[in-house]
Structure formats: structure tokens, C-alpha cells
Amino acid sequence: MNIRFYNARILQMNGSVEVIEGELWVKDNKIAYIGAGKASNEKWDKEIDCEKNLLMPGFKDVHTHSGMTAFRSLADDLNLQEWLNDMIFPREAVMSGEDVYWMTKLAILEYLTTGVTLIADMYLTPETIHDACAEMGMRCELISGLNKFGPTLEVMENRFIELNKKSDLVGFKMGLHAEYTCDRELLEKASELIHKYKAPVYVHMSETETEVKECFDRYGKSPVALFDELGLWDFGGSIYHGVWCDDADMEILKKRNISVISNPGSNTKLASGIAPISKYLEKGIIVGLGTDGPSSNNCLDMFREMFLVTGLAKLKERDPKAVAADEVLKMACVNGALSLDHEDCSCLEEGKLADIIMIDLRQPNMQPILNIPKNIVYSGSKINIKMTMIDGKILYMNGEFIGVDADEIYRKCEEITERLKDI
């Protein structure tokens, strides 16, 4: 489809955070032109009057567990151990691939309402997550959650090969669940495998203070230092959470080009703590954002994460200047893409993938229009997502999901959660 957006404000985010006025043309799945209106011989399938609303790069939710929509509001106001052991694990043990497929589809609906155009999803059955994303048009990097209780290294390697072949929209990256769910032997073997493929590694790390303490007890060093020693950082990657990294950890992250994916909503709701975002930025470490799963957060809402990542930094530093709005927008749009080697959709530029959202500026929370980036970061809400386009396809517009039956997804998910809730 060739689509012309005109009468638009455009926030490209290729470098500076500035709003221009003009047109944006999409040809097939790519951005073909951004600039002033000009003559064209193009035959447009669709011409969209943006009515001075804002086109900008989609948000990248680069740490989530989509299928945990099954457990939203089932297990809140509990401590971590009760939550995991009593509520989550027994139910995950009986979840089928098809259950994950439907619950992922529910999550994708929600990503579309919050303007997310790329997710990194670590959950039980990557094959069915793949299918849910490919069918609904969601760009996704599947992340394995290797651990000593789950599928083997061989399964991970096989998925790495097979799932990277199936679709342009969905990839697979090697990930480990966490230091504390792997033993040393598994970590060493994982390191061999990532060296075989020169692959980056993605892993939950330094989420809670206890986790870091226990790693020190086991190995005499932090999880970040342990992974460094084992060569697991040799090809980059990301740590999820990074709430409890110290200065020495940060030196390693910077040196090894490891990004930190912050999940402030989840860290807040589970009382894990406040990540040292200002310090990461000072040291030049790339910070991206994730919602984490909808059982710990509980919602998939990038506006919440954007407000929190700067708001909590302000509280932590006791400094209202901490982590300015422009920086937050870069985290949400650009850095998340970079953390997954997805430069192809990091910003709006000719030749990049057409992963574009439209922000409704004619809602009261976006008025007056004195500073659009600040309006988005400090005042934005799902109500402002007027359109979500992924890979050149409009998947959500004016509150409607395009080409998908949301009610069918709700019905299927209700059946699944009815079955799972009383286990």
C-alpha cells in the first residue's frame, strides 16, 4: 500500500527532537519521503489528512512477557515469593502453546492502543508467540528465557535457527532468564553458544537487591561482573531492570556496550526499587524502556513508563531536572530499537521501516501546544494514540482495530483465564 500523510506535524527523532510540518509518504513497508508537500506522480492507495496531528516513530516496548495477560489482576498486592510460587508458577505449568497464542494476541491489542510498534517478548512458547505476532502484524523479537528448569540449550539453538527464518516481522534472540535461575555450567555453555553465533545476550539482571546479594554470596561478584567474566557480554545485549547496578557494573556495561532496559512500572508495583537512570545516562549507557509483563505492572502502557522513568529519577535524585523529556522520548522510540539492532525502525527517515504512530493533539491533555515532546512525556495517555502503523500497515485507527476481531480474542482469553484462575 502506498499511503500519503499530509497536513502533519512530524517528530522524526533522527538526531534532534524537533517537530517539523509537512508530509510523510509510505511505499509498501518503508518511508519514502518526509518533507514539505510536493508534486508526485504516485498513485496513492490512501491519502490521510493528519489535521496537524503528530506523526512520530512508534514506541519500542523492549522487555515484556505478553502471555502474562492471563494473570492480570489475579495476583496483586502480594510479595514476590507468594506471587511467583503460589499464583504464577502453578498456572504457567499448565499453560498450552495455544493459551500463550491467545493471551499474546490480547497483549498485542493493548500494544496497539499505546503506540508500540516493536516488542521484545520473553515467554513460554516462542513458536506460538511468533504466530500471534506474524498474524496480527506486530514487529517482535522473541527472546529465549534459558534457565535450568526449562528447555535446553539445544532447543534454544534450534529456535534461534528456525524462528529467525519464518517471517520478516519476527526475529529470535538468545536470552537467559536470569543468573539465579541458571547454574554456572549452563552459563558457561550458553557463552559457548553465543560465541558460536556472535550473538548478543538479553537477561533479567539486578532487578532486586536480594538477587545481587545472593550472586555475591555464590560467586563473590555481581551478576554483571560474572557475565563479563564468562564472556557473555562479548557481543552486546541488554540487561532487563538494572535497578541495583553499582559503579563497577556500569563501567562493564559501558565497556561491553550493554544497554539497560528499564521497567519502572513493574519495579514500582513489585517494590523492587528505583533504577539509577541519571547515572546510566551520565556514563553514556543506552537506556530503553519496557513494560514488563501484565501480571507485575499490570498494564502495557508506554505513557506510564515514560512518566515513571523520569518521575522516579527526579524522586531518587531529589532533583526535578533529572532525566529531561527529550531523553525519555529517545529511550521510548530510538534506544529500544538500537538495543535490538533494529536501526531499521529507530526513527522516521527515508528508507526506514514504516513503524509510525499518530498522536492526537486535539485532546485536552495535549493542549495548549507549547512543547510537544513534554506534552507527550508528562501528559500523554493511551487516549492520544490516533493511529498505529507497523511495517506500512495501519493496525489501529481512531479507536478501531483494523482487520482483527477483538471480541473473539477477548472471548478466547476469557475461556483460558476461567480455566487457569482456580488452579
Asked if 271 touches a copy of itself (CB under 8 A), the answer is yes
Stretch that binds a copy of itself, among 59-67, 146-154, 181-189, 380-388 (CB under 8 A): 380-388
Question: Which helix (H) or strand (E) is 396 found in, with range?
Answer: strand 393-397
Q: Which of 273, 284, 197 minimizes the C-alpha distance to 241?
A: 273
What whole-number distance in Å separates Cα of residue 134 and Cα of residue 231?
A: 33
Taking the least distance from each CB to a copy of itself, the nearer of 211 and 228 is 211
Cα 189 to Cα 135, 154, 230, 231: the distances in Å are 34, 10, 10, 11
What whole-number distance in Å separates Cα of residue 391 and Cα of residue 105?
A: 18
Tally of CB atoms within 10 A around 391: 19
From the CB of 162, what's the least distance to a copy of itself, in Å? 29
Please select the residue that binds a copy of itself; options are 30, 374, 393, 419, rule is CB under 8 A.
374
Find the distance separating the first CA and the last CA of the chain, reported in whole Å: 47
From the CB of 309, what's the least distance to a copy of itself, in Å? 11
Query: By CB under 8 A, how many residues form the interface with a copy of itself?
Result: 72
List of E strands, 246-392: 258-262, 287-289, 356-359, 385-390
Asked if 97 touches a copy of itself (CB under 8 A), the answer is no
From the CB of 405, what's the least distance to a copy of itself, in Å? 12
Taking the least distance from each CB to a copy of itself, the nearer of 43 and 321 is 321
Taking the least distance from each CB to a copy of itself, the nearer of 117 and 375 is 375
Taking the least distance from each CB to a copy of itself, the nearer of 66 and 259 is 66
What whole-number distance in Å separates Cα of residue 106 and Cα of residue 102?
A: 6
Stretch that binds a copy of itself, among 126-134, 158-166, 330-338, 381-389 (CB under 8 A): 381-389
What whole-number distance in Å separates Cα of residue 160 and Cα of residue 195?
A: 14
Stretch that binds a copy of itself, among 168-176, 222-230, 265-273, 278-286 (CB under 8 A): 265-273
Site for a copy of itself in 47-86 (CB under 8 A): 69-70, 72-74, 76-80, 83
From the CB of 372, what's the least distance to a copy of itself, in Å? 8
Taking the least distance from each CB to a copy of itself, the nearer of 145 and 265 is 265
Residues 397-416, mask of contacts with a copy of itself (x by CB under 8 A): --x------xx--x--xx-x
Taking the least distance from each CB to a copy of itself, the nearer of 168 and 408 is 408
Is residue 305 packed enough to be buried (19+ CB in 10 Å), middle (13-18) or exposed (0-12)? buried
From the CB of 399, what's the least distance to a copy of itself, in Å? 7
From the CB of 26, what's the least distance to a copy of itself, in Å? 25
Taking the least distance from each CB to a copy of itself, the nearer of 36 and 271 is 271
Q: Which residues contact 369 (CB under 8 A, 6 or more apart)?
A: 361, 375
Q: Which of 95, 62, 68 minimizes the C-alpha distance to 340?
A: 62
Asked if 110 touches a copy of itself (CB under 8 A), the answer is yes
Taking the least distance from each CB to a copy of itself, the nearer of 245 and 308 is 308
Cα 81 to Cα 87, 147, 241, 254: the distances in Å are 9, 18, 18, 32
Asked if 94 touches a copy of itself (CB under 8 A), the answer is no
Q: Where are the alpha helices (DSSP H) in 59-118?
A: 80-81, 89-92, 97-113
Taking the least distance from each CB to a copy of itself, the nearer of 75 and 134 is 75
Stretch that binds a copy of itself, among 29-37, 156-164, 166-174, 269-277 (CB under 8 A): 269-277
Question: Which helix (H) or strand (E) is 310 found in, with range?
Answer: helix 302-317
Q: Which residues contact 87 (CB under 8 A, 6 or more apart)?
A: 71, 74, 75, 78
Site for a copy of itself in 294-313 (CB under 8 A): 294, 297-301, 303-304, 307, 311-312
Site for a copy of itself in 313-372 (CB under 8 A): 314-315, 317-322, 324-325, 362-365, 367-372
Q: Which of 178, 138, 174 minimizes the C-alpha distance to 156?
A: 174
Site for a copy of itself in 202-261 (CB under 8 A): none
Taking the least distance from each CB to a copy of itself, the nearer of 118 and 312 is 312
Asked if 421 touches a copy of itself (CB under 8 A), the answer is yes
What whole-number distance in Å separates Cα of residue 219 and Cα of residue 147?
A: 18
Tally of CB atoms within 10 A around 32: 18
